[in-house]
Amino acid sequence: MSIFTTFFPLGWQHYLMGGAFIGAGAGLLFILTGRIGGMSTVFSSTWSFVVNKPFFQQARFTESRNWRLVYALGLILGALVWWLGFAGGVAESTAVPVWQLLLGGFFVGYGARLGNGCTSGHGICGLGSMQLPSLFAVLTFMATAFLTANIIARIAS
Amino acid sequence: MNTSNMTRPRMLATLAAGALFGFGLSISTMIRPEVVLSFLRFSDFGLMLVMGGAVVVTLMAYKLAPRLLKQPLLGDIFHKHPSVWNRDTAVGAALFGIGWGLCGVCPGPAIAGLGAGNWNLLWALAGIALGALAQGLRAK
CA distances from A73 to A28, A52, A79, A111, B113 (A): 16, 24, 10, 23, 12
Of A92, A139, A38, A82, the closest CA to residue B54 belongs to A38
Task: Check whether B1 has a pLDDT greater than 50.
Answer: no
Please, is A63 exposed, middle or buried when counting C-beta atoms within 10 Å of its C-beta (0-12, 13-18, 19+)?
A: middle
Which residues from A are below 8 Å from B40, CB to CB?
Answer: 145-146, 148-150
Of A136, A113, A149, A89, the C-alpha closest to B36 is: A149
- Please report whether residue A108 resides in a domain: yes
Q: Which of B27, B56, B69 sits opposite A21 (nearest CB)?
A: B27
Query: Nearest-CA residue of chain A relative to B17?
Result: A25
Residue A43 CB-half CA count within 13 A: 35
| Total domains in the fold of chain A | 1
Give A-chain residues touching B132 at CB under 8 angstroms: 40, 43-44, 47, 109-110, 112-113
Q: How far is B60 from chain A (nearest CA, A)?
A: 8
The residues spanned by each domain of chain B are 3-138
- The DSSP output letter for B78 is -
A145 lies in a domain? yes
User: Given pLDDT bands bounded at 50, 70 and 90, which one contains residue B5?
Assistant: low
- B26 at A interface, C-beta within 8 A: yes
* Residue A103: inside a domain: yes
Domain enclosing residue A135, as ranges: 94-157
> Across the interface, which of A96, A120, A140 has its CB nearest the CB of B97?
A140
Given this model, what pLDDT does residue A6 score? 87
**Distance from the Cα of residue B68 to its chain's centroid:** 26
The per-residue pLDDT for range A57-116, each reduced to its tens digit, is: 999 999 999 999 999 999 999 999 999 999 988 889 999 999 999 999 999 999 999 999
A69/B contact by beta carbon, under 8 A: no
